[in-house]
Amino acid sequence: MRLTKDDPRVAADLRIFLSQSYNLKVIADYEIGRGAKVTADLAATTIETARRFAAQIALLLEQPASHP
């Protein structure tokens, strides 16, 4: 998450994606009760965002490193 925190090359929604998806993982792994449900729509949206995040990171890794 720190690697993309203030990187303007990464869209804002993708910069916060890891922390949001970690919260969903915690719910799926440990939570019980009424608030512990991850809907199919939320799961599908999260998967699509994960694909976009992975594609963005792959693109950044392909770019040559810039040296100040």
* pLDDT tens per residue across all 68 residues of the chain: 566 777 888 888 888 888 888 888 888 888 777 777 888 898 899 999 999 999 998 998 888 766 55
Q: What is the pLDDT of residue 1?
A: 54
Q: What is the pLDDT of residue 5?
A: 76
Three-state SS string across 2-68, please?
Answer: CCCCCCCCCCHHHHCHHHHHHHHHHHHHHCCCHHHCCCHHHHHHHHHHHHHHHHHHHHHHHCCCCCC
